[in-house]
Structure 1
Amino acid sequence: MRIACALALALLCCATAQAGASKFVGLGGNPGLRSASALILDAEGNIIYGKDTETVRSIASITKLMTAMVVLDAGLDLDESITITREDRDTVRLTGSRLDYGATLSRREMIMLAVMSSENRAAAALGRTFPGGMDAFVAAMNAKAKSLGMVHSRFADPAGLRTENLSTASDLARMVAAADDYPLITEAGTTQRLEVRPYTRRGPLTYGNTNRLLKNEKWDIALSKTGYINEAGRCLVMKANIEGEELSIVLLNSFGKLTPFGDSNRLRKWLLAGT
């Protein structure tokens, strides 16, 4: 009787383990991704595919996920108005912005624009208006990274314009998992279009999401952020549901504006072909 019970328990444990295992783990072949670093994890953190996951690289605007988390962790008033000033201009790469000096939006709207549309001045304003100013904000970014176990990461500014914003695919997977716990960040990362009114005497501005995969009906995306500077190449991180499974996707340093999206589609095709 004891033997029968033990056998039944063993079979039950085996069945439970199999039921919880990702159908994508252990796939053969290669998805042929062109990104220099790539990491795909299942919901339990198991590696489905990894390529050069520990190389430290510039991460460009992927940085803005950390920016949003630090602001939200501080419990600042999301309805408080923030006005763009000359301090928020990009003096590193001299990029432009549709938010002119004097443009005023709520802190919530600034987070939305920073994440969904990678608005650099919005991100800079979030750091500038942090208690203690920009230095305190960058220190908080690095403290947050340390708390998440991102041991190979460093943050230097809230917009990701400086080359010194550094991380690895493995560390960014930790950051994506953490960002997924913030409803405003997931909303921002999946909102396709947003209309804002930063000026009292002008019409509204309409912003679009930088992740074109959100327009693709084949993709079910729960969180996303793109990034680009010359030193970082094209970058993309996502949480996406594929065939009923939630996957974390990190793609770093690819060349060509559309390569991260092409890699994402190649990845999806590889996953589906192996099941």
Structure 2
Amino acid sequence: MTIRDTVFRTLAHTNWRLALPALLLTCGSLIVQAASSDPEVVVPTTSPTTAAISPSGVVTPDPHAASASAPAPSASAVAQAPQPDVIPPLQSPAPSEAPLMKLPVNARHMLVIDDSGRVLMAKDADTVVPIASLTKLMTAMVVLDAKQDMDEEIRIDDADVDRLKHSRSRVKVGATMTREAALELALISSENRAASALARHFPGGLPAYEAAVAAKIRALGLSHTALADPTGLSPANTSTATEVARIAAAAARYPVIARISSDKSSEVEVNGRPRELRNTNHLVGAKGWDIRLSKTGYTEEAGRCLAMRMKSGGQTITVVLLDADGSAQRLRDAAAIRKSLAKLS
């Protein structure tokens, strides 16, 4: 019997005004029944379904919402039942973050992260490229791990001369200095001969130094980093912006590296005479900059590179720039990043 037949039969045998409430109830019941059999119609339930969302985003049904009379599911049914859907937590960026994320930089590879490791800005950060003298951060860590006497004098030898790139040096063959002075020369002035001498005077020589570097790479979980020499002159010294940020964070845990690399200038003795050093990162010590660790790098293959940690808005921010077109462009990139970070704080 159709709904129309029911309506006419009821009106034919009863005063329509008296029958109206019963008629409406009947119609409603028939409509719900018809809708229940239609897969495209959603029929509301009489009892609301309640659920809780955990901090991880997992939807958990309210255990009190289940009917007491409902039979418990069998073990096999539970095993085959689909797991609750996972809803990714929403992390809406603040409006002030938008300019930072869209900030154009000259460097071809870049990463900016905060204290918690949250990526604030990235540009092709996982491509493996040469990193030039950023290598010296790793050299410094390995040398300090060996716990050698920092006051011991070491000598620059002919083996420390750069015959690959023929880079200039202010330290002559035969010059002597303490191990700490060589470390300052390597980190502040990016002196290649000093870095090479540090590796040669490693306990066990260069083979032991290379083994220590390989072990350090593994310890830091750097799966895309390869270092062929202690200076960074070799184009085979490669990494990614992401992994260079890890190297910088690890180096910052060494107070000696943090102190030396964040000095605007320093004075060391070479052959018993004072030698003034200037940081290759001209932002160190500049007005408005609070840099806690820094290292620059350059080769023709790597372009201009920079890894530094600085204070901004009460946080320590790590900035990595790889393969910028020149020193001026590298500085402009860093200044633009700093300006955008100030808007976030």
Tell me the TM-score normalised to structure 1 length.
0.88
Note the residue ranges of structure 2 that are not aligned, 5 or more in a row.
Answer: 1-54, 56-90
Which residue of 293, 297, 320 maps to 1:227?
297
Superposition pairs of residues 73-84 of structure 1, within 5 angstroms:
73-84=145-156
Which residue of 263, 270, 283 maps to 1:191?
263
Q: Deviations over 1:61-117 (max 9, x none)?
A: 000000000000111111110011111111111112111122111111111110111
In the alignment, which residue of structure 1 is the partner of 2:251?
Answer: 179
Question: Aligned-residue CA RMSD in angstroms?
Answer: 1.8
- SS in structure 1 of the partner of residue 148 of structure 2: coil
Contact 1:24 1:271 (C-alpha < 8 Å) held by counterparts? no
Single out whichever of 130-139 and 155-164 deviates more from structure 2.
Answer: 130-139
Superposition pairs of residues 1-275 of structure 1, within 5 angstroms:
27-29=97-99, 30-200=102-272, 203-275=273-345
- SS in structure 2 of the partner of residue 197 of structure 1: strand
- SS in structure 2 of the partner of residue 258 of structure 1: helix
Contact 1:225 1:238 (C-alpha < 8 Å) held by counterparts? yes
In the TM superposition, residue 215 of structure 1 has moved relative to its aligned partner by 3.2
Contact 2:200 2:206 (C-alpha < 8 Å) held by counterparts? yes
In the alignment, the residues of structure 2 paired with residue 268 and residue 149 of structure 1 have an alpha-carbon distance, to the nearest angstrom, of 29
Note the residue ranges of structure 1 that are not aligned, 5 or more in a row.
Answer: 1-9, 11-20
Contact 2:129 2:239 (C-alpha < 8 Å) held by counterparts? yes
Contact 1:25 1:47 (C-alpha < 8 Å) held by counterparts? no
Aligned residues: 253
In the TM superposition, residue 145 of structure 1 has moved relative to its aligned partner by 1.1
In the alignment, the residues of structure 1 paired with residue 264 and residue 174 of structure 2 have an alpha-carbon distance, to the nearest angstrom, of 26
- SS in structure 2 of the partner of residue 157 of structure 1: coil
Aligned structure 1 segments of 4 or more residues deviating by more than 6 angstroms: 23-26
Q: Deviations over 1:11-39 (max 9, x none)?
A: xxxxxxxxxx9x98981131211110111
Contact 1:54 1:169 (C-alpha < 8 Å) held by counterparts? yes
In the alignment, the residues of structure 1 paired with residue 341 and residue 160 of structure 2 have an alpha-carbon distance, to the nearest angstrom, of 42
Contact 2:265 2:278 (C-alpha < 8 Å) held by counterparts? yes
In the TM superposition, residue 135 of structure 1 has moved relative to its aligned partner by 2.4
Query: Given the superposition, is the C-alpha separation of residues 91 and 75 from structure 1 closer, same or farther in structure 2, using an over 3 Å criterion?
Result: same
- SS in structure 1 of the partner of residue 198 of structure 2: helix
Contact 1:220 1:240 (C-alpha < 8 Å) held by counterparts? yes
Which amino acid letter does the alignment assign opposite residue 230 of structure 1? E
Which amino acid letter does the alignment assign opposite residue 89 of structure 1? V
Identity across matched positions, percent: 43
In the TM superposition, residue 268 of structure 1 has moved relative to its aligned partner by 1.2
Q: Deviations over 1:133-174 (max 9, x none)?
A: 112212211220111011100001111110000000111111
In the alignment, the residues of structure 1 paired with residue 95 and residue 181 of structure 2 have an alpha-carbon distance, to the nearest angstrom, of 39
Q: Which has the higher contact order (CA 8 A, sep 6+)?
A: 1
Which amino acid letter does the alignment assign opposite residue 32 of structure 1? P
- Greater C-alpha Rg: 2
